[in-house]
Structures are given as C-alpha cells and as structure tokens.
Amino acid sequence: MSDDISDSTLDMFLEEAGLMLTDFEQALLAMASASSDIETLNSAFRAAHNIKGTAGMFGFDRVVEFTHEVEALLDRMRAGSQDINETAVELLLQCLDQIQRLLGELSEPEQMAPNAERSRHLMQQLAALKKGGSAPPPVAAEKASPTVMPTAPTQVPEWLIWVRFGTDTLRDGYDPLSFLRYLDQVGTIQQVAPLTDHIPTLVELDAQGCQMGFALRLQSTASAKTIRDAFAFVADSCTLKVVPAPFSVATLQAELQSIEKDSPRVEHVLREIGVWPSAPNSRTDLPPIPHNATEDDLESLFNSIQQGQTPTTSVAPPSNPSVPQPKQTPAAPVIPATPPAAADHTPTKAQRKKPAAREKKPEESRYIRVPADKLDDLISQIGELVIAVSSAQIVAERHNIPEFSEIAQRLDKLVEGARDHSLRLRMVPVGETFSRFKRIVFDVSRTLGKEAELIITGGDTELDKSMVEQLIDPLTHLVRNALDHGLEAKEERLAQGKHPCGQIRLNAYHDAGAFVIEVSDDGRGLARERILSKAIERKLIPADSKLADEQVWNLVFLPGFSTAEQVTDLSGRGVGMDVVKRNIEALRGEVNLFSEPGAGSMVQIRLPLTLAIIDGFLVEVAGSHFVLPLDGVEECIAMPDLACPHPNAANYFELRNTVIPLLCLRRHFRLNAAPPRRYSVVIVRHGSQRVGLLVDRLHGEHQTVIKPLGRLFNRVRSISGSTILGSGSVALILDIAALLADASTLHTPTAPSISQSNPLSSHAE
C-alpha cells in the first residue's frame, strides 16, 4: 500500500469499499435467488470491478490481485462460459468475506499471513470452479456464417456496432474482450473485425493503454439502449456507434464519418463484417469517400445527406497505393430486418454530439457524501439556535414589544424549519441495514440445515443514522435466534402442514412518533411451560407465580435465561436477549415479545425517531418544568374541581366513558409547593396504552434540544433527559413509557384494564 495516503483519504476509501462490498453482497445474494437476471450479475460484476479499481488506486495490491480473480469468474458468468449455481455463489460470498479481511489488514497487520493463506486457498477454488465450469460458448467466428451476408432474410434485427475504446480502458480494469463476450449474450455476433490501425509499433506502444477497437455485426432483439448499455462502464471514454439494419451507404457514412476519418478503411472493415451494400439502393447512396477527404469535405457530405441531396465531391481520388483497397467481396444486400421500435436512428447532429452516458451524470451527482461529524456539528448549532430563539421570545413577551414579538415568532418558525431539515439529514432508510440480514439468513440457515427466507417490509422507513448503527447487533442476535430456535426443521414443518421454507420477517414503521421494528418468524412459538419451569428452576420467579403470557415471554430478557435444549454456535448460551434489551433501552427504546404457539414469535422494538431534538410539550408542576414528547400527547383537559388525588384514592378517572389511569406528577416526583388553583390533565399515549398526567400548568409546544442526563441520574426512572429553556432554566424530559409503567402499578385492580392488542395479528401479516 502507498505510504503517502492520508488517514482521512484512507478512511474515505475504506468507507467507500464497505459500501461497494454491501452492493456486492446484495447482488450475490440476489444471484442465489430464482429471480436473478443478467442485471443482477452485472451489478455483482460492477461491484467487484469497482472494489478492484478503487483498491488499485490506493495500492492495495493484495486486494486487487484477489478481486481480479473474483471479477474474472463473474466475467465468465457474464459470457455464459461459467454456470451460476449455489456452489459458485457460496464461493463468491466467501471471496467477498476475504476481500473484507484483506481490507482489514490495515488495522490488523498480524492477519496478513493467515489472510494470504486464505486467499491462496480461495483462488485455488476459483480456479477449480473455472476448470469445472460449463464449456465455453462457441466463439463468434465459429458461429459466423462463412458467407458475408445471410442469404435468407431474417426476422431478428441486426446491428452494426463500431467501438473504439479510450486509452485508459485497460488501466481502468476493463478488457475489450469482456464487452465482446457480453454482446454475445445480448445477441449473436455474426462477424467481428478488430480495429487495429491505432496500435503502434512496440517502440511507441503504451502497453497498458488501449488502442484497440472492433466492429461487429450483431443479431439481437435487444433495443439500441440495451446494446449501448453494454458499454456503460466505459461510456465516457469510448467512441461508440450502434447502427440498426437496414444498412445503406448513406446511413453508414453518416453515422461513422464523425468518428472515423479513414473512409476506405471504414469501408473495408464494413465489407469484412458484411454490412457494406454492394450497390446504391437509394438516391442518398454515396460514392466511397476519398481517403484524403478533409473535415470540410466530410461536413459538406454530411450536410448533403441531411438535406436529402446527392452530394458531389471535388476531392482528389486516392493516390496512396499503400491504402488497402476494398476487397471485391460478394454483393451485400441490404438486410430486410425491421429496425427495433425502441431505436430512433435518425438523430440530429446535435443529438449525436451528446453521448448518452454523459446524460446520466446529473442523476449520479445528486448525492453528496458528508462526514457524519459535520452533520452532528450542524445539529448541535441548530440546537443552540433553538434555545437562543426561545430566549428571544421570552424577552419579547416580557417587554411587550409587538415588532420584536413578531420577529421572534418568525425566527422561531424559520429555526423550526431549519431544525427539521437538519435532522432529516441524519435520517436514513433502514432498508440498507435490513438487507445485510439476507446474508445472515443465507449463511445461518445453511449451517442449521434449515430452509429460510427473509422478508423485508418497510425498508423505506427512516431513522437517525446513529441509532441504525446501534441496532445492528441487537437485530443480528434476534434474527439468529429466530433462525436457530424459532424456525422448526424442514421435516417438523412439513409434519405440521407448514411450508418447508420458514419465514423471517423484518418490518419497520412509524407509530405515534416512534420508530418500530419487528422481527418475527413463523416457527413454533415460545413454549410457555418451559419458560416458566426454567424461570422457577433458576429462582427468577416464585414457584407459585401466576403470570400473564406477556410477562412470561418477557422472562427471556432476564440475564442468563435460556431454555435452549442444545447450545449451538449461533445462540442458546443464555446471553444475548438481556443484552438486546439493554441496548434498546440505552437508545431510549423498549422491547416486547409476543408469541403464539405453533404460529411464531415476534420481537417488537420501539425507539424514538431521533436522539437530538424533539417537539415537546412543556408543563409545570410545583414550579418545576417538564417536557413531554409531543407525539405522545393526545389531549389536555382543565380540571378545576380536581384536587391532587390522595395516595389511597383511586388513581383513575373517566373520560368520555373510558377509564384512564391518572398519575399525579406532583406526588410522583415528591414536589412540595402550594397547590394550584386548578389542575390540568395531559392525556399521553404509548403504544395502545394511555395515562392522564396531572400537572399545575400547561405551557404548550416547545422545541426541545435533548441534553443527556449525567450518570448520577442513571437510576432515576421516568426521566429520559433534560433540556434548557429560553429562560436558562432546566426542564426534565419525561419518559412516557416509564410513567405508564408506574401508573400501572398504582392502578387499582377494580379499574377496567386497557386492553393491549396483540401486534402479531396486526403487523405480522
């Protein structure tokens, strides 16, 4: 590796390579599925090629050397000379892991030796696969008709493809032969001729520069776009013409004169591949262009063609005897094939000057990659701005200056917009993260000898990127657990009348200001009695416990709890579920488990959308300020006649014929101050549960910049963070889930319970 690469550049490369490997993995996994198509294979090839090319730029020779072999195998697959089967895909996935290891050598140089051995072993396997692959397809020349043109008319459209590759094509890792082989998959190459005239002698040759090209006649039902797309990787650097039949002299000259100046040579090549008509067949057919024609002559000729005139030329006839003369080949009739409808081959001159590949650039450059630190700084600044604007509003109200109030309000709106936009910058769809579990399901199901598929829904649902990253480990554990313990073996499933292939589902959606992820399976479900007996055996619960299903399921989140009959490499060691719960709670989230015997289980994770700024609802209790997440606030009710309920009184009230638990925050936080003239109740909701919070005063909506609490407050329940108000005072952010749990414990048994629907029935479909 080059020593002069800066750390930041290297970090950028490694991050880029990580994304490329993700693309590669997704393409390989798609190749393993029945719905795989040529585009999937192209994606895999493109990803491998990009990894190799980028690694080469940074001097990762070991990565380049290894990935080259992988790319070669994919290229053979593209050319049809290598079968795409499960063995090949599994080997390619192993190779992908190896590329990842090779990239990791930078941070773990001690891994170089074992990695080299692994590389050697895998390269041997690649070579063995290559040898054992299906027979290469007959080469173009073997398939080509010995006659220059087919004698019978054919219904399959024909195309002339004329391409000269850019100088850097080889150095960029592209082999002209690959394009030829790929075209033979798009259609059938009838005849090919190399364009060798730009290749110099050995002395002048830039051996790693490309001076080659080729012309070929292709029979294909593909559209012009598909054929052009075959050259998409080199579109910016190559000169390409795709001309549909019928081939007339006028068409050919009009198409090629802009890129080829040596007209006799062009004619010679076209005759070789059988697309040069023998006799004029229309009023626009032209005499051969003299080899010494100038650009002006050609321009004039072109204009004549455009205007439908028969051009004349005053250019002197060829006098150079060294110029090869056209062969007197048999007459080449115009192919009576119908040009494909998709191709419009009468472009204007301006259109021809605008290569299709370049038109893609604006689409590609719509995204800018920005380091996460910069976004964090921006959001932090916006947070300070929110507080400053809040201060300005207080000052405006205090001094009662209408103009100032108006400006402060406008500022508040603008800052709110800026806040929303900046927070959105950090939001990423979870689909990309979900996709990586396809590999886990692929690998683990094979290890366990089970059939399983991963179904992803709600991949577009967005979540703060920092949270997405912290979700990977818990989700990995949950998916592995579902595969290992949730899904039954194939035989067991068949015996139960289930499909032999089990399903693991990952589902994401937004609900009441929360982000919800569900990991479910259609396996055997949790065994209630086994969980209970295990919990009693381990003295986690008293032997005479009477627990509801939900409470039983949640026992599995206790540290050290495991009912697995057999400890496997994957799970069942009794560690993990408690860590999952701890990780989720560290994100201010909660985790719940639902199960139905024989139907499957589901782990539901609820998380706040962001960790930075939220829309809050500010309330006051005994002179202290509290913020409730606005998304959880349903309504507010003034209750002038209600005193703070006595500790022994029923902690509930009736609202529109519904009994709702009531929690007096004054008592809950043991705040002593003179009671207000009247109380207000804020109805908050978490999932399907509701509780009324009794407060002294409502201040209304408040943009809340979340400040974490110190470690000292780690054990304080019901409070998830703090914020600074415009006045400079501190407000505590209430944790609605914890408050609900507290309200439940205060809830008298006589009060009607609020039913909790089983999410298995609503989301696991």
The pair of three-digit structure tokens given for residue 761, joined into one six-digit string: 């029935």
CA distance 658 to 652: 10
Residue 69 within binding range of other proteins, rule CB under 8 A: no
Window of 85-93, 187-195, 251-259, 377-385 that interacts with other proteins by CB under 8 A: 187-195
Residue 240 within binding range of other proteins, rule CB under 8 A: no
Do the beta carbons of residue 21 and residue 99 sit within 8 Å? yes
Q: Tell me the CA distances in angstroms from 245 to 158, 249, 575, one per residue in order.
A: 5, 11, 68
The pair of three-digit structure tokens given for residue 563, joined into one six-digit string: 């009912």
For residue 746, the one-letter residue type is: L
Do the beta carbons of residue 679 and residue 687 sit within 8 Å? no
Which ranges of 58-85 does DSSP label H, i.e. alpha helix?
61-79
Residue 689 within binding range of other proteins, rule CB under 8 A: no
The pair of three-digit structure tokens given for residue 683, joined into one six-digit string: 């109805």
Residue 140 within binding range of other proteins, rule CB under 8 A: yes
**Which one-letter DSSP state was computed for residue 707?**
B
CA distance 463 to 515: 7
CA distance 18 to 425: 21
Residue 141 within binding range of other proteins, rule CB under 8 A: yes
Do the beta carbons of residue 698 and residue 619 sit within 8 Å? yes
DSSP bridge pairs for 518: 507, 604
Window of 34-42, 88-96, 197-205, 732-740 that interacts with other proteins by CB under 8 A: 197-205
Minimum gap (Å) between residue 212 Cβ and other proteins: 5
Minimum gap (Å) between residue 59 Cβ and other proteins: 15
Residues whose CB is less than 8 angstroms from the CB of residue 280 and which lie 6 or more positions away in sequence, other chains included: 249, 286
Identify the residue among 26, 42, 43, 211 touching other proteins (CB under 8 A): 211
Do the beta carbons of residue 523 and residue 598 sit within 8 Å? no
For residue 710, the one-letter residue type is: G
Identify the residue among 104, 132, 200, 598 touching other proteins (CB under 8 A): 200
Residue 195 within binding range of other proteins, rule CB under 8 A: yes
Residues 639-658: x/- map of binding to other proteins (CB under 8 A)?
A: --------------------
Residue 523 within binding range of other proteins, rule CB under 8 A: no
Q: Which is nearer to other proteins, 173 or 692 (CB)?
A: 173
Residue 266 within binding range of other proteins, rule CB under 8 A: no
Minimum gap (Å) between residue 110 Cβ and other proteins: 28
Q: Please give the residues from 268 up to 287 whose contact with other proteins meets the rule CB under 8 A.
A: 268-269, 272-273
Residue 70 within binding range of other proteins, rule CB under 8 A: no
Q: Please give the residues from 107 up to 136 whose contact with other proteins meets the rule CB under 8 A.
A: 136
Q: Which is nearer to other proteins, 209 or 513 (CB)?
A: 209
Burial class, 405, CB count within 10 angstroms (exposed 0-12 / middle 13-18 / buried 19+) = middle
Identify the residue among 44, 149, 186, 192 touching other proteins (CB under 8 A): 192
Window of 8-16, 175-183, 538-546, 613-621 that interacts with other proteins by CB under 8 A: 175-183
- DSSP output for 439-490: HHHHHHHHHHT-EEEEEEE-TT-EEEHHHHHHHHHHHHHHHHHIIIIISPPH
Identify the residue among 142, 403, 529, 544 touching other proteins (CB under 8 A): 142
Window of 27-35, 210-218, 351-359, 716-724 that interacts with other proteins by CB under 8 A: 210-218
Q: Which is nearer to other proteins, 175 or 492 (CB)?
A: 175
How open is the CA angle 591-594-600, to the nearest 5 degrees?
130
Q: Which is nearer to other proteins, 68 or 510 (CB)?
A: 68
Minimum gap (Å) between residue 142 Cβ and other proteins: 7
Chain contacts with other proteins (rule: CB under 8 A): 136, 139-142, 170-171, 175-177, 180-181, 191-197, 199-203, 205, 207-208, 210-212, 214, 216, 268-269, 272-273
